[in-house]
Structure 1
């Protein structure tokens, strides 16, 4: 099946067969017509209830369970950012990450198009997600990872039995190389910001907007890496605006880890294009992208919505991670905590107001992350006869 695409930057029309990037070098996204779209009245609570804004295909296997993640009101975090805080908890997806949204659409389209093999370039959440969705749909999956991937991450990916290829050399080249190989070898690669992945991931914003309808939140704050998820969120709110279902698009703020922040640095300089960086080590390794393929699209989204792009350091990220766990009950991956850390900075700058509704996007669970911010446990041991006294002591 072929799907109509449009370049977000120059407006050139294309199809899925033409590839994910335009001749102008900017990324394409799926061309959708929001005219006539309305909030769905459906018993289906998955992302497929928004089928009017998705490629025309049917969910396959695990794909039918993607989406419908909770929007958690977190009043104990209000004081952190001087606003009313809500957290969109993407860890409730089947493999614990927002990546399931893009994998669901990408694998479903690949299956409907007759592909036997799907693939992705990832050393983390996206690899796990694609492998799981492919397994459930009866498709083979190939995952390209860097040669020096830690064994702990490799083990998580391997559980769904994909073919894993460790590649030596410049990891950033694998994006373009995989697209070329996909065309030549008939592999449906669903990478970080390819059109089908963005189409699925935009449903994060559709669910957020649906929870606030007929209003919208004042601001959405989210981590950014390749820029695919950020692009999808921007596209979703644009479509809802075009459909007349919202009267404005929220301010969109995107947050990076300071050790690897090419988009935030470009924003601070006032540039319209992102320059690749070397990138350093950070606890938020899953958003450590030194050359984000949709970086320019993120800058455009921030400007168009009167939002912004900023960076936060590891200390702020870990403190925000603890706050989300201890005061909102949400244990998130370190990269996700950048949303709260960034919102704190925005509050200090006066960019968020006390009467505003702010959504923090927490893109994945922390339960798959090992060796980060380990907690020292102080747990006393008592005998059964001493239990009453131990519990009573809690109230003294």
Structure 2
């Protein structure tokens, strides 16, 4: 039977009774670790969409495989990218979450949440999570309430609105909406950033990474962090794999934040066990610009428990890394994702990694949704049709 457990104090709750413990920390689902094993590649026979998605780990999830869009979440590519590896290593393996149905890792949590919940759903988000919930609700024929900040750009609103949710631009202190909707009797189930069902779905990215390396494991997993929900899911998955005997040691978890808004990194640097809220500055890493992360303490604990770290990345380094990923690895990501590979570069320079290390980097969202509004004129050559042969020959060796 599913139950919810507090990672910090160990208090247990029945599923659905709460999202946060009485101690104030977030809860996550606990399932039987002893019953988990890597799925048989031949399981089920024939072609089943869910077998190449997160639903291959259905036995470890608090929901059953659905049909439709939710069945397509997960199963994202993982490949080594030597062209962006720093001198003397480590080996970098990119987990490209932008290939999920709506272009981000948020589809994992939304898929599991939608499969477990009935009736209308909602979320507090002005980015990837809003788009994911709106799309999955549309696919399931469900009503969706999407609460966005009043300064959300029209371009983002247009992306979300195409799925016809109930879209609310909220005036006032947007940061408090998470708590306003947490457990409130509104007739709508809110799948916010670190809801237990969302964390349960998002942990599957770590299952996919570790299964790809099995019977070995990567030395480290690096990912951006905002609310702390994704970091929590990765930590939960690694703990389960260790308990099931599928990992001998846990990969180190490294989290990356933009230096202009880095409350978790700040707590790590200061040796604190609790994250204090900060007033973040504007940053291109909009998706992780979270000065008061609801699962910040749990994310911090994940890094510490696995001998990892939390890094801050400068704005210049982040934007340069985004360009490097596109030009050298062929992967377009949001600035919020680029902090992860930029952090690998900084950590390697600081001696955290060496040439023998395998580091899996989770690129959480696609840059094709949030690309620049214009193109640098220097990158485009205007030519006549008659000049095409000569211009093309110029690039040949």
TM-score by length of 2: 0.95
Query: Quick one: structure 1 residues 189 and 80, their matched pair in 2 at CA, closer, same or farther if it must change by over 3 Å?
Result: farther
Could you say which residue in structure 2 is the equivalent of 1:152?
A: 155
Could you say which residue in structure 1 is the equivalent of 2:78?
A: 71
- CA distance in 1 between partners of 2:107 and 2:357 (Å): 30
The alignment yields a C-alpha RMSD, in angstroms, of 1.6
Question: Quick check: 1:380 aligned with 2:387?
Answer: no
Question: Quick check: 1:125 aligned with 2:128?
Answer: yes
Q: How do 1:215-234 residues align onto structure 2 when only pairs under 5 Å count? A: 215-234=216-235
Could you say which residue in structure 2 is the equivalent of 1:255?
A: 256
Deviation at 1:375, TM superposition (A): 4.0
Deviation at 1:377, TM superposition (A): 4.5
Q: How do 1:13-32 residues align onto structure 2 when only pairs under 5 Å count? A: 13-32=12-31
SS at the partner of 2:86? Answer: helix
Could you say which residue in structure 2 is the equivalent of 1:174?
A: 177
Q: How do 1:344-359 residues align onto structure 2 when only pairs under 5 Å count? A: 344-359=345-360
Deviation at 1:60, TM superposition (A): 4.1
Could you say which residue in structure 1 is the equivalent of 2:144?
A: 141
Could you say which residue in structure 2 is the equivalent of 1:286?
A: 287
Query: Quick one: structure 1 residues 220 and 394, their matched pair in 2 at CA, closer, same or farther if it must change by over 3 Å?
Result: same
Query: Quick one: structure 1 residues 88 and 81, their matched pair in 2 at CA, closer, same or farther if it must change by over 3 Å?
Result: farther
Could you say which residue in structure 2 is the equivalent of 1:50?
A: 57
Deviation at 1:376, TM superposition (A): 4.0
Could you say which residue in structure 2 is the equivalent of 1:109?
A: 116
- CA distance in 1 between partners of 2:136 and 2:253 (Å): 30
Deviations 1:83-135 (A, max 9, x none): 1110000000000000000000011111xxxx220000001000000010111
Q: Which moved more, 1:94-103 or 1:57-66?
A: 57-66
Are 2:58 and 2:65, in contact at CA under 8 Å, matched by a contact in 1? no
Q: Which moved more, 1:49-58 or 1:115-124?
A: 49-58
- CA distance in 1 between partners of 2:384 and 2:371 (Å): 32
Deviations 1:6-54 (A, max 9, x none): 1111111102322210000000001111103110024511101101110
- CA distance in 2 between partners of 1:198 and 1:211 (Å): 21
Could you say which residue in structure 1 is the equivalent of 2:36?
A: 37
Query: Quick one: structure 1 residues 14 and 81, their matched pair in 2 at CA, closer, same or farther if it must change by over 3 Å?
Result: farther
SS at the partner of 2:66? Answer: coil
- CA distance in 2 between partners of 1:264 and 1:277 (Å): 11
Query: Quick one: structure 1 residues 385 and 370, their matched pair in 2 at CA, closer, same or farther if it must change by over 3 Å?
Result: closer
Deviation at 1:290, TM superposition (A): 0.6
SS at the partner of 1:145? Answer: strand
Are 1:118 and 1:141, in contact at CA under 8 Å, matched by a contact in 2? yes
- CA distance in 1 between partners of 2:317 and 2:329 (Å): 17
Q: What runs of 5+ residues in structure 2 fail to find an aligned partner?
A: none
Could you say which residue in structure 1 is the equivalent of 2:98?
A: 91
- CA distance in 2 between partners of 1:107 and 1:325 (Å): 33
Query: Quick one: structure 1 residues 81 and 260, their matched pair in 2 at CA, closer, same or farther if it must change by over 3 Å?
Result: farther
- CA distance in 2 between partners of 1:186 and 1:353 (Å): 52
Question: Quick check: 1:165 aligned with 2:172?
Answer: no
Could you say which residue in structure 2 is the equivalent of 1:214?
A: 215
- CA distance in 1 between partners of 2:189 and 2:100 (Å): 22
Query: Quick one: structure 1 residues 229 and 384, their matched pair in 2 at CA, closer, same or farther if it must change by over 3 Å?
Result: same
SS at the partner of 1:252? Answer: strand
- CA distance in 2 between partners of 1:291 and 1:280 (Å): 13
Are 2:2 and 2:31, in contact at CA under 8 Å, matched by a contact in 1? no
- CA distance in 2 between partners of 1:8 and 1:379 (Å): 53
Deviation at 1:340, TM superposition (A): 0.8
TM-score by length of 1: 0.95
Are 2:86 and 2:345, in contact at CA under 8 Å, matched by a contact in 1? no
Deviations 1:140-172 (A, max 9, x none): 000111122111111111111110112121112
Are 1:81 and 1:344, in contact at CA under 8 Å, matched by a contact in 2? no
Deviation at 1:224, TM superposition (A): 0.1
Deviation at 1:370, TM superposition (A): 3.8
Deviations 1:245-297 (A, max 9, x none): 11111010000011111000011110000000011100001000010000000
Deviations 1:356-385 (A, max 9, x none): 101111001001104379544533344444
- CA distance in 1 between partners of 2:278 and 2:63 (Å): 38
